[in-house]
Amino acid sequence: SQQGEEDPQALSIQEGENATMNCSYKTSINNLQWYRQNSGRGLVHLILIRSNEREKHSGRLRVTLDTSKKSSSLLITASRAADTASYFCATDGGYSTLTFGKGTMLLVSP
């Protein structure tokens, strides 16, 4: 069963606005990762945050992790049309595997 669950399922915004996606998970983790998937393509790794970290930045991406609430958020600032994609959180599922959520579909309109 899915460990991570993203929210919202779909998000539609205008270029220049910020996009926030949330991920909740069920059991303790060592790290949490976010991936992006353009339509018809494979997933691409965006950022990893470890369980002892609370916030991490990478370019226009900001990820937070609250282990007490078992939740993470991905913020994309100043969004662009090219950010249109599906975004997935993934948690370590044991035996070097990753368990993915169902994803958030982000649409950024020009």
Task: Determine if 97 is a binding residue for other proteins (CB under 8 A).
Answer: yes
Closest C-alpha to 55, from 32, 27, 84: 32
For residues 4 and 90, the answer to whether their CB atoms sit within 8 Å is: yes
Q: In this complex, which beta carbon is closest to other proteins, that of residue 8 or of residue 16?
A: 8
Task: At 64, list the tokens.
Answer: 């937070």
Task: Determine if 2 is a binding residue for other proteins (CB under 8 A).
Answer: yes
Task: At 8, list the tokens.
Answer: 């919202």
Q: In this complex, which beta carbon is closest to other proteins, that of residue 48 or of residue 75?
A: 48
Residues of this chain that bind other proteins (CB under 8 A):
1-2, 31, 33, 35, 40-45, 48, 88, 90, 92-93, 95-103
